Homo-oligomer: A and B are copies of this chain.
Amino acid sequence: MSKPWSVSTNQFINEQESIMRTGNVYQIANGYMGYRGTLDEFGPEQLVGITLAGIFDRVGDAWREPVNAPNGAFTQVSLDGVDISALSTRIKHHEQRLNLSNAIFERETTFSSRGKTLTIKSSRFLSANTPNLGVIRFSLTCNTAAAITIHTGIDSNIWDLNGPHLLKLTPEKHGGVLLVHGVTNEASKRVVVVEAIKCDFGKEVHSATGKKHLRVIGTNIEAGRTYTFYKYFAVFTDHDPVRKSAKKAAIETVEHAKAHGYEACLNIHNAEWEKKWKRCDVKIEGDDKAQHALRYSIFQLLMVAPVNGSANSIPARALSGQVYKGAIFWDTEMFMFPFFLHSYPEKAVELLRYRIKTLDGARRKAQSEGVGYRGAFYAWESQETGDDACTYFNVGDPFTGRELRTHFRDKQVHISGDVAIAMWEYFRVTGDDSLLLEGGAEVILECARFYYSYAYFKKDKNRYEILDVIGPDEYHERINNNAFTNMVVKATFEIAIATVKHLKQKHPAELRALVRKIGIENELSFFAEAVNLLYIPEPDRKTGIIEQFDAYFKLKEAKIEELKARKLHPDEYLGAGQGLAVPTKVIKQADVVMMLNLFKERYPAKVKRANWEYYEPRSEHGSSLSACAYAMLAADIGKLDWAYRYFLQTAKIDLEAKYKVFVGTIFMGGSHPAANGGAWMTAVFGFGGLKVNVDHVALNPRLPKRWKCLEFSIVYKCDRFDLKITNAEVTIIAAASNRSERRFIVAGKEAYCTPGNSNQLKLHRGKRTG
């Protein structure tokens, strides 16, 4: 497997948990919707999910979550009157495959039923060109003549965690097109699914029984002959920017696709994927395992990148279902955004536009939390309006069956700074300030304003402090002066000041208008004071260790395994004020280490090393965001074995799908795009040693032993560079279309890369500079 471009299996295990995990691993998506890796004949019990991006709904008091659409890809075959299904029919052979090069899911299953052997083969893709469209090729072959009935159409039996979300589900038929429409429970937003097929055999009748709106195609098939039909389905909602009705748009979409035909649709789709990979692939020579896991990680991110112009973002579980309410967390800015920023900036733009779009929600949250704050306090769990979907009580207590109060929503204030940092990073790396003018500057100033409104001044210490927060380590709630949070706050003030400075120079009229609009003039001077007087926990003079928060060092030492052994119930949570980890130094995930990653140029290596070594054995990695932070910092400080170990952990998370899928009775399965982004960051920032600076790109590579070569591309100030790193040298190829010469510094050596030319720089082994 020298070019690992697929995931495949020859097994079908008919167990709920296996079906669920396989559904995650083999999912496909196109930014508009996800389709879990389930088989054609499956239903809601097998967690068939077509999860839509950016449309949410709530039923009663249950969690608000994304809407799953009716399944326009449903097909069920019966052979001589007997239903054929992987769930009930004897399987002689099964193979399924996810092609990473173009996100096509294929299955081929040979069934044995009453002495006959039937092979079903299907390919499925969600068009990378037409966001609303799904396309399927379905064929069957029997070893003998047989009577076949195909039920295919739209299955409105929908898997929901907290549904049903679609009311008034109504089947319609428009010529040869099947259509189901319904409206969301909460806001009566229309969701339409249509389906058309191209089938050259059999006789079709229609059937709408229960929630299935189907065609029933009967035919007698010949022995050994393959019968193939093509299926097109489209999903539209009131959120789609179409001029006509959703219904009309949906019908036109499938009719258009059908008219073009399967191959034409596939070709356009493949061309899009080819472009994606050309820009975003990271090649590792000499380590197929790492290559496979990393490529799968990048693949996940490419699949779920928002549709251009949608101003959507990527939820913590991407489009793999409704887990975590389909909400956007800090995961996006801190873990996924860098990948897009450096290799696919037009998607990075959408992620940021999402935060601009939800700025009013963040303002509402700031006003309504606690005593009320000014500025923008972004939602911890953000949906389409930016109002917080995070509940105050959101961890189940297995002892009482009650929900425990956590402070994720009201105290995890670093989220606003995470957004501001990403907004500024976009400008810093691309040089494009249009987004600042589009609302990005407003976001940044409102985030800084929120922090100023949240901060307290300690007069006798002459410093500002950030009190009563949760840092990345969620086991310790309501703590003061979290090193991570305080640094994020400081950076936010710096960024706000830099934003004002930039606009003053380049866009003074826009700055004046903005300052007037949000009435912030009197507050700007405080930001400068706050930058100077904000307390930042310093590395201990002797040990170099930074205290994670005030009085963290006073907590008890505890071994993670011993702590877990004290659990009285497997599902008991270690935090939430009374959990076993709370009085101890055991932390849920990278916190100081995450901070040192984010601000790595501000700290010397020995501080980073001291903290990595101190916090690593105290980290439970109870979050999928943790491993990559330890991986990246380990690479930065030259702990390559550790870096590699944590890199594989983060890169393989979705490929292996060994994560915990139930917390208590709550289903938590799905993909981990933040870990996927962490895998990319570890490869590129960690091993590649990439760091984009004000006036140059720095590269300080340090590859894992077995890696012979690492190749990736970056976009820097709208110019594109292909980078090839070996242990001996770095090659930089500047695209011919680049506009300017750009400066690189590779392990201390300077290179000016002019459009269309390549530079080759020898590496002195072991040398590494900032």
> A694 in the interface, Cβ–Cβ < 8 Å?
no
Asked whether A568 lies within 8 Å of B400 as measured between CB atoms, the reply is yes
> A456 in the interface, Cβ–Cβ < 8 Å?
yes
Contact with A456, one of B405, B465, B550 (Cβ below 8 angstroms): B465
Q: Which stretch from A67-75, A106-114, A252-260, A575-583 is at the chain B interface?
A: A575-583
Q: How far is the CA of A459 from the CA of B527 in the complex (A)?
A: 12
Chain B residues whose C-beta falls within 8 Å of the C-beta of A397 in the assembled complex: 578
> A497 in the interface, Cβ–Cβ < 8 Å?
no
Chain B residues whose C-beta falls within 8 Å of the C-beta of A722 in the assembled complex: none
Q: How far is the CA of A460 from the CA of B375 in the complex (A)?
A: 13
Chain B residues whose C-beta falls within 8 Å of the C-beta of A551 in the assembled complex: 370-371
Asked whether B405 lies within 8 Å of A583 as measured between CB atoms, the reply is yes
Q: How far is the CA of A578 from the CA of B578 in the complex (A)?
A: 8
> A272 in the interface, Cβ–Cβ < 8 Å?
no
**Nearest B residue to A576 by beta-carbon distance?**
B578
Q: How far is the CA of A404 from the CA of B576 in the complex (A)?
A: 12
Digit string of A362-388 for contact with B (CB within 8 Å is 1, else 0)?
000000001100000000000000000
Asked whether B453 lies within 8 Å of A460 as measured between CB atoms, the reply is yes
Asked whether B526 lies within 8 Å of A459 as measured between CB atoms, the reply is yes
Q: How far is the CA of A392 from the CA of B452 in the complex (A)?
A: 33
Q: How far is the CA of A370 from the CA of B550 in the complex (A)?
A: 7
> A458 in the interface, Cβ–Cβ < 8 Å?
yes
State how many angstroms separate the Cβ of A475 from the closest Cβ of chain B. Answer: 13
Asked whether A582 lies within 8 Å of B550 as measured between CB atoms, the reply is no
Chain B residues whose C-beta falls within 8 Å of the C-beta of A465 in the assembled complex: 456
Asked whether B467 lies within 8 Å of A456 as measured between CB atoms, the reply is yes
State how many angstroms separate the Cβ of A447 from the closest Cβ of chain B. Answer: 16
8 A Cβ contacts from A245-279 to B: none
> A478 in the interface, Cβ–Cβ < 8 Å?
yes
Digit string of A392-403 for contact with B (CB within 8 Å is 1, else 0)?
110001011000
Digit string of A552-595 for contact with B (CB within 8 Å is 1, else 0)?
00000000000000001000000011100011000000000000
Q: How far is the CA of A392 from the CA of B457 in the complex (A)?
A: 28
Interface range for A: 20 to 34
Chain B residues whose C-beta falls within 8 Å of the C-beta of A393 in the assembled complex: 583
Q: How far is the CA of A465 from the CA of B582 in the complex (A)?
A: 27
State how many angstroms separate the Cβ of A563 from the closest Cβ of chain B. Answer: 13
Asked whether B458 lies within 8 Å of A405 as measured between CB atoms, the reply is no
> A468 in the interface, Cβ–Cβ < 8 Å?
yes
Chain B residues whose C-beta falls within 8 Å of the C-beta of A460 in the assembled complex: 452-453, 526
**Nearest B residue to A456 by beta-carbon distance?**
B456
Q: How far is the CA of A392 from the CA of B370 in the complex (A)?
A: 26
**Nearest B residue to A477 by beta-carbon distance?**
B577
**Nearest B residue to A398 by beta-carbon distance?**
B399
Q: How far is the CA of A456 from the CA of B468 in the complex (A)?
A: 13
Q: How far is the CA of A526 from the CA of B460 in the complex (A)?
A: 9
8 A Cβ contacts from A390-422 to B: 392-393, 397, 399-400, 404-405
Q: How far is the CA of A578 from the CA of B404 in the complex (A)?
A: 6
Chain B residues whose C-beta falls within 8 Å of the C-beta of A456 in the assembled complex: 456-458, 465, 467
Asked whether A392 lies within 8 Å of B583 as measured between CB atoms, the reply is yes
State how many angstroms separate the Cβ of A613 from the closest Cβ of chain B. Answer: 25
Q: How far is the CA of A457 from the CA of B459 in the complex (A)?
A: 7
Contact with A478, one of B452, B453, B459, B478 (Cβ below 8 angstroms): B478
Most chain-B CB neighbours within 10 Å: which of A400, A452, A478, A576? A400
State how many angstroms separate the Cβ of A290 from the closest Cβ of chain B. Answer: 43
State how many angstroms separate the Cβ of A7 from the closest Cβ of chain B. Answer: 43
State how many angstroms separate the Cβ of A364 from the closest Cβ of chain B. Answer: 15
State how many angstroms separate the Cβ of A303 from the closest Cβ of chain B. Answer: 40
Q: How far is the CA of A577 from the CA of B583 in the complex (A)?
A: 14
Asked whether B370 lies within 8 Å of A577 as measured between CB atoms, the reply is no
Chain B residues whose C-beta falls within 8 Å of the C-beta of A568 in the assembled complex: 400
Q: How far is the CA of A550 from the CA of B399 in the complex (A)?
A: 31
**Nearest B residue to A550 by beta-carbon distance?**
B371
Digit string of A129-154 for contact with B (CB within 8 Å is 1, else 0)?
00000000000000000000000000
Chain B residues whose C-beta falls within 8 Å of the C-beta of A459 in the assembled complex: 457, 526
Chain B residues whose C-beta falls within 8 Å of the C-beta of A582 in the assembled complex: 405
Asked whether B578 lies within 8 Å of A405 as measured between CB atoms, the reply is yes
Digit string of A465-482 for contact with B (CB within 8 Å is 1, else 0)?
101100000000010100
Contact with A577, one of B405, B453, B526 (Cβ below 8 angstroms): B405
Q: How far is the CA of A483 from the CA of B400 in the complex (A)?
A: 33
Chain B residues whose C-beta falls within 8 Å of the C-beta of A576 in the assembled complex: 578
Chain B residues whose C-beta falls within 8 Å of the C-beta of A578 in the assembled complex: 397, 404-405, 576-578
**Nearest B residue to A572 by beta-carbon distance?**
B400
State how many angstroms separate the Cβ of A370 from the closest Cβ of chain B. Answer: 6
State how many angstroms separate the Cβ of A485 from the closest Cβ of chain B. Answer: 16
Q: How far is the CA of A467 from the CA of B370 in the complex (A)?
A: 13
State how many angstroms separate the Cβ of A172 from the closest Cβ of chain B. Answer: 46
Chain B residues whose C-beta falls within 8 Å of the C-beta of A583 in the assembled complex: 392-393, 405
8 A Cβ contacts from A79-99 to B: none
State how many angstroms separate the Cβ of A399 from the closest Cβ of chain B. Answer: 4
Contact with A399, one of B371, B399, B468 (Cβ below 8 angstroms): B399
Q: How far is the CA of A160 from the CA of B383 in the complex (A)?
A: 59
Q: How far is the CA of A241 from the CA of B404 in the complex (A)?
A: 54
Chain B residues whose C-beta falls within 8 Å of the C-beta of A371 in the assembled complex: 480, 550-551
Digit string of A446-457 for contact with B (CB within 8 Å is 1, else 0)?
000000110011
Q: How far is the CA of A480 from the CA of B467 in the complex (A)?
A: 11
Q: How far is the CA of A452 from the CA of B399 in the complex (A)?
A: 42
Q: How far is the CA of A556 from the CA of B463 in the complex (A)?
A: 36
Q: How far is the CA of A400 from the CA of B460 in the complex (A)?
A: 43
Q: How far is the CA of A371 from the CA of B481 in the complex (A)?
A: 11
Q: How far is the CA of A714 from the CA of B457 in the complex (A)?
A: 47
Most chain-B CB neighbours within 10 Å: which of A393, A399, A480? A399
Most chain-B CB neighbours within 10 Å: which of A452, A453, A456, A467? A456
**Nearest B residue to A567 by beta-carbon distance?**
B400
Chain B residues whose C-beta falls within 8 Å of the C-beta of A457 in the assembled complex: 456-459
State how many angstroms separate the Cβ of A129 from the closest Cβ of chain B. Answer: 49
Q: How far is the CA of A404 from the CA of B579 in the complex (A)?
A: 9
State how many angstroms separate the Cβ of A526 from the closest Cβ of chain B. Answer: 7
Chain B residues whose C-beta falls within 8 Å of the C-beta of A478 in the assembled complex: 478
State how many angstroms separate the Cβ of A679 from the closest Cβ of chain B. Answer: 37
Give 5 closest A-B pairs by Cβ, nearest first: A399-B399, A456-B456, A577-B577, A457-B457, A371-B550
Known A-B contacts: A456-B458, A457-B458. Give 13 more (CB < 8 A): A370-B551, A371-B550, A392-B583, A397-B578, A399-B399, A405-B577, A405-B578, A405-B583, A453-B460, A456-B456, A456-B465, A478-B478, A576-B578
Question: Using a CB–CB distance below 8 Å, which chain A residues touch chain B?
Answer: 370-371, 392-393, 397, 399-400, 404-405, 452-453, 456-460, 465, 467-468, 478, 480, 526, 550-551, 568, 576-578, 582-583
23 cross-chain CB contacts under 8 A: A370-B551, A371-B480, A392-B583, A393-B583, A397-B578, A399-B400, A400-B568, A404-B578, A405-B578, A405-B582, A452-B460, A453-B460, A456-B456, A456-B458, A456-B467, A457-B457, A457-B458, A467-B467, A478-B478, A576-B578, A577-B577, A577-B578, A578-B578
